[in-house]
Structure 1
Amino acid sequence: MGIVRQDVAKLGAGWNKTLLNYALAMRALDALPISNRNSWKFLGAMHGFDAELWRGEELIGGTDTVPSELTDGTYGDQCQHGSWYFLPWHRGYLATFEAIVAAKVKELTGDDWSLPYWNYLDTTNADARRVPQAFLADKLPNGDPNPLRTYPRRTGLSVLQPGRRDAFSLAAVQENDFIVGNNGSIGFGGGITGDFVQFGGWTGDLENNPHNTVHRLIGGYMGDPRLAGLDPLFWLHHCNIDRLWEAWMSTPGKTMTRDSRWREGPADRPFLMPALGGADPGITFGGADTLKGGKFHPTYDNLTKGTGLVPGGVAVARVGMGPSHQQSVEPIGANASAVSVGSKPESSLVTLEPRATTAGVAAMGATTPGHTVTRLYLALESVRGEASAPQIDVYVNLPDGADPDAHPELHAGNLTLFGLNVASRPHGRHGGNGLGYTLDITELAQRLQQAGGFDPTKIRVTLVPGEHVSDDSPITVDKISVLKRVGIVS
């Protein structure tokens, strides 16, 4: 692409040239009508759009004409989540946004511009989680209102502050395969779908954390996919998520999918981005266009800091399970009925098939090449609710009435259910199917086994409500199951 994306922390404190130019361009683009395909609001509506919500937020006035292409599926409401299209679609979205902002910067100042990333996972920077100051300032250097503060965030936000159990995680980059299984329920990238779907069935590891976690922690518009693209921080966050994907693909031992359905994009319609200037026919693309050599492939200044990876060097130390297409994923147990979580923790018994479970547990620690190796996962299927980014914690074999904080060793994971409101709408294009998640419980199962506490006939799963979950806004999970992933040590 001819440009290099840089860490915003390396560009200088306060109003460095990159962020000042970003603010100036944003102000100009936000002054354009939503009918302009290069306007700030049109770009934001491409991620998610709800005319009633936007009017309620006074983002569009009563006399504003909303172009039909934002409501008929042509350009609006495109964001891909819960599927293997999550990463390639957002990469194309970033590149389009970057080109439009860069053109406006050039027009206003004559400067070149590229989208920076916010490296909130950089352990070498003590201030990595602090919101860049330019996004918090009341005024521009000349005293004008700061456009980078136009849209609301969590009250008092100045630094990303995860709670006791919802810490940032780079566990996603330990996964060696983009997708595993017939439906892609396990893997780095998200569930398999052949068609365009804004919220699909299975959330990939990288999307779950840190992507979803950061959306919730920033809050405000960032906490709702129908508004998130309006916050200028959205673009720096997604730039970092995109960088993590690039680092993962550049690391030995990681396997990207070669499936033609992914490479060519949705079968029922192409992904579509507005051209610079907004003229028809726009820019269509598929997954292959986001890979090396493709029209949307980016360049980053660094793929090591804050990624947990060493591209071109040593892969993350996890036992290889062989080619992903030769691995298998099978359910070995499930609970009997749906679970509803309100203000209190709720538990459900998952009945296991003893023989398959015993064999799976026995092979979890295999390291000898050629031997069978397994990993175990909890799957939460058809998760529904009305909140836009609620949070739950998942525990295995937590004693009845026990304080979850007293048993970190039984914590299977934290989930921020970003977009749950959209995925749960019964009359939406998603059919109200909700979202799906898998949590790797291999190490937890090994600890239980070593302590003599793993029963091959059953496990008890406890869902602990977090932020935005209450009796008035509960979360329902249609099914909780245990999946066994089987491969051969490579």
Structure 2
Amino acid sequence: MSTARQDVATLGSGWNKVLLNYALAMRELDKLPITDRNSWKFLGAIHGFDRQLWIDENVLGEDDPVPKDLTNYTYGSQCQHGSWYFLSWHRGYVYAFEAIVAAKVKELTGDDWALPYWNYLNSSNPDARRVPDAFLVETLPDGSPNPLSKYPRRQGLTRLRPGPRDAFSLAAMEENDFQVGNDGSIGFGGGVTGDFVQFARWTGDLENNPHNTVHRLIGGDQGFMANPYLAGLDPIFWLHHCNIDRLWEAWMSTPGKTMVRDPRWLNGPADRTFIMPVPGGGVAGMKFSGRDTLKDGKLHRSYADLSIGTGVTPGAEAVARVKMGAPDQQSIEPIGANAAAVRVGGAPVRTQVDLDQQATTAGIAAMGAMEPGKEVTRLYLALESVRGSAPSPLLEVYVNLPEGVDPQLHPECHAGSLTLFGLNVASRPDGGHGGNGLGYTIDITDLAQRLTDAGDFDPNHLRVTLVPGEQISEAKPVTVDRISVLKRSGVVS
């Protein structure tokens, strides 16, 4: 696979050769039983697998045998989320998938093939958010059913349509550090964990947005992309994750960004080795760790472009946020929290975060520091142990929103939008993660500065309002165990 991965928008409209070969290969792989490690179903089950759900969704039959290596956690339900393994594991997953599809394309057509990426954040392309036509039409050029449109998506989906406050951006690319602090609650890459945890504690910036957001925008209420147990079955999943992988590669290639070099990440996880099938389904499979996904590793792939639609220019230093020194020289300090868990159902819910006045005042004073050697701070809102039964609910977060007003009319108070992708999996008490839920941090530094300038930032407390979006209702509420404010401190360098 020496060919660089290409932007799908540059390959030609309609049934270009790359997408037609993708469809032909998928059709053949989808005919194989789930017991075949190269089958479409086996590849999808690596991301997430729930036998009864697959039967209910007519993916499996009641009597279809399921291989033990999907249910004994050798291959099945491996996907890493809310973890600093999110990007490395998915890089290995995409690599293995691409190799298997490419081998099938070679067998069927004799052509070389590389997985394309969907560059939906390319601001220079007015059709960047449009779903490629080959994923929308009902038939292949020969009139046979189109496998690329086989699995359900959001009703009426033709393009990604975020709402007025719905986060869909490249803000993650502004973060300079892959991981900060002992737990990784803040950073580009996700929370620290030494062991295998399918859904761990802290969601990294890139996973939060655009990764999670795109999953929900495609999947909606019923589509497979919105549910980790089903997402890997949708062929557009792979173009999305190819782009997420490209964004990580672009970030790592930009001076001023600090990639993690912790042995736990390089060699982990400690208790279970990541494994992927190989073309032909060899018994041994392919084992890998974080080290294998870096530029000198066996799973590294090249991209035709790392600048367009990434928000960075590899090779050119672009520090959108002030440098705060080396990650291990920075500190993260909780400076306040609310008093009780919050339940969000069919209406907005308000809670108060009580702050340490002295620490908050000092943090606010240092937010805008730019002079080298001076202490500089950033403030974050942390939502901990978020739980619920919906697969990808949308939660809007506001700070110091006036009481009794329509949140949509006060964008100046909007702190961020969270797509809680995989909340159903992370909240299952019988899962490997013990139903601990997910955690998110939102950078509110700029918002805090605006509120301070307007005289509406009380160093004693913040008013936080959680507004339910799609997939949240009285029947399917979301609970947040704790909302706190974190102060990140460093020295301008």
Q: So what's the TM-score if we normalise by structure 2?
A: 0.99
Aligned match of 1:343:
346
What displacement does 1:401 show?
Answer: 0.7
* Percent of matched pairs sharing the same residue: 71
Q: What does 1:353-432 correspond to in 2, within 5 Å?
A: 353-432=356-435
Residue 259 of structure 2 is aligned to residue 256 of structure 1 = yes
Q: Residues 167 and 416 of structure 2 are in contact (CA less than 8 Å); yes or no, is this contact kept in structure 1?
A: no
Q: Deviations over 1:381-403 (max 9, x none)?
A: 00000000000100000011111
Deviation of 1:167 (Å): 3.5
Deviation at 1:482, TM superposition (A): 0.2
Q: Structure 1 residue 33: deviation in Å?
A: 0.4
- Alignment-derived partner of residue 168 in structure 1: 168
CA distance in 2, matches of 1:130, 1:275: 32
CA displacement at 1:64 relative to structure 2: 1.0
Q: Deviations over 1:442-489 (max 9, x none)?
A: 000000111111100000000000010000000000000000000000
Amino acid at match of 1:168: F
Aligned letter for 1:162?
Answer: P
Q: 1:428 & 1:317 partners in 2: Cα distance?
A: 39
Give the match for residue 210 of structure 1: 210
Query: Counterpart of 1:95 in 2: which secondary structure?
Result: helix
Letter in 1 for 2:251: W
Contact kept in structure 2, 1:383 and 1:476, CA below 8 Å? yes
Report the alpha carbon displacement of residue 318 of structure 1 after superposing the two structures with TM.
1.6
Give, in whole Å, the separation in 1 of the partners of 2:106 and 2:320.
45
Aligned to 2:117: 117
Retained in 2: the 8 A contact 1:321–1:327? yes
User: SS in structure 2 opposite 1:125?
Assistant: coil
Q: Which amino acid aligns with 1:124?
A: S
Residue 299 of structure 1 aligns with which residue?
302
1:77 alignment counterpart: 77
Distance in 1, matches of 2:234 and 2:34, equals: 16
- The equivalent of 1:318 in structure 2 is 321
Q: Give how far 1:316 is off.
A: 3.4
How far residue 103 of structure 1 moved from its aligned partner, in angstroms, is 0.2
1:333 is matched with 336
User: 1: distance between equivalents of 2:33 and 2:482?
Assistant: 45
Whole-angstrom distance in 1 between the partners of 2:463 and 2:146: 51
- The answer to whether structure 1 residue 67 and structure 2 residue 67 are counterparts is yes
Which amino acid in the other structure matches residue 199 of structure 1? F
SS in 1 for 2:475: coil
1:46-93 per-position Cα deviation (integer Å, ceiling 9, x unaligned): 000000101111111122110011111000000000000000000000
Give 1:302's aligned amino acid: D
Query: 2:2, 2:374 → 1: CA distance?
Result: 46
Match of 1:194 in 2: 194
Shift of 1:3: 2.1
Q: Per the alignment, in what secondary structure is the counterpart of residue 148 of structure 1?
A: helix
**Letter of the 1:85 counterpart:** Y
Residues 128-152 of structure 1: CA distance to partner in whole angstroms, max 9, x if unpaired?
0000000001110000000101100
| 1:314 CA displacement | 2.9
1:371-424 deviation digits (Å, cap 9, x = unpaired): 000000000000000000000100000011111111111100000000000000
Tell me, yes or no, if the aligned pair for 1:82 and 1:203 is still in contact at 8 Å.
Answer: yes
Deviation for aligned residue 1:315 = 1.1
Give, as a single letter, the amino acid of the residue that structure 2 aligns with 1:416: T
- What does residue 269 of structure 1 align with? 272
In the TM superposition, structure 1's runs of 4+ consecutive aligned residues that sit over 3 Å from their partners are none
> What secondary structure, in the 3-state scheme, does the structure 2 residue paired with 1:116 have?
coil
- Which residue number corresponds to residue 244 of structure 1? 247
Q: What letter is aligned with 1:446?
A: Q
CA contact (8 A) 1:176 1:188 kept: yes
Distance between the aligned counterparts of 1:86 and 1:57, measured in 2? 27
Specify the alignment match of 1:39 in structure 2: 39
- Is 1:58 equivalent to 2:61 in the alignment? no
Structure 1 match to 2:108: 108
Give distance in 2, aligned partners of 1:195 and 1:278: 26
Q: d(CA) in 2 for partners of 1:88 and 1:418? A: 18
Aligned partner of 2:7 in structure 1 is 7
SS, match of residue 485 in structure 2: strand
Name the SS of the counterpart of 2:451 in structure 1.
helix
Secondary structure of the corresponding residue to residue 236 of structure 1: helix
In structure 2, how many angstroms separate the alpha carbons of the residues matched to 1:359 and 1:406? 31
CA distance in structure 2 between the aligned counterparts of 1:437 and 1:467, rounded to whole angstroms: 18
Hey, what does 1:436 align to over in structure 2? 439
Residues in 2 aligned to 1:454 and 1:9: alpha-carbon distance in whole angstroms: 45
2:487 to 456, 459, 484: 484
* Secondary structure of residue in 1 paired with 2:439: strand
List aligned pairs for 1:81-100, cutoff 5 A. Answer: 81-100=81-100
- Structure 2 residue runs of 5 or longer lacking an equivalent are none
* Aligned counterpart, 1:20: 20
Judge conservation of contact 1:136–1:158 (CA < 8 Å) in 2: yes
CA contact (8 A) 1:309 1:316 kept: no
Letter in 2 for 1:72: N
Q: Please, which of 290, 293, 297 is the counterpart of residue 293 of structure 2?
A: 290
1:232 partnered with 2:235: yes
Distance in 2 (CA, whole Å) between partners of 1:316 and 1:467 is 35
Q: In structure 2, what is the Cα distance between the partners aligned to 1:436 and 1:285?
A: 27
Look up the equivalent residue of 2:352 and give its one-letter code.
L
Looking at structure 1, the residues matched to 285 and 9 of structure 2 have their Cα atoms a distance apart, in angstroms, of 34
State the alpha-carbon separation in 1 of the partners of residues 470 and 148 from structure 2: 26
Larger deviation, residues 312-321 vs 470-479: 312-321
Structure 2 residue 283 is the aligned partner of structure 1 residue 280: yes
What is the alpha-carbon distance in structure 2 between the residues aligned to residue 43 and residue 149 of structure 1?
A: 17
448-457 or 371-380, which moves further after superposition? 448-457
Separation (CA, whole Å) in 1 of partners of 2:112 and 2:415: 46
**Secondary structure at the residue paired with 1:445?**
helix
CA–CA separation in structure 2 for the residues paired with 1:114 and 1:166: 32
2:129 aligned residue: 129
For residues 274-320 of structure 1, give each alpha carbon's deviation from its aligned partner in whole angstroms, at most 9, with x where no partner exists.
12211121111100100011011010000001000010013132210
Tell me the distance in 2 between the aligned counterparts of 1:186 and 1:382.
15
What is the CA–CA distance in structure 1 between the aligned matches of 2:320 and 2:51, rounded to whole Å? 48
* Alpha-carbon distance in structure 2 between the residues aligned to 1:317 and 1:433: 34
Partner Cα separation in structure 2 for residue 238 and residue 431 of structure 1? 27
Structure 1 window deviating more from structure 2 (307-316 vs 327-336): it is: 307-316
Contact 2:167–2:418, Cα closer than 8 Å, also in 1:
no
Q: What amino acid is the match of 1:164?
A: P
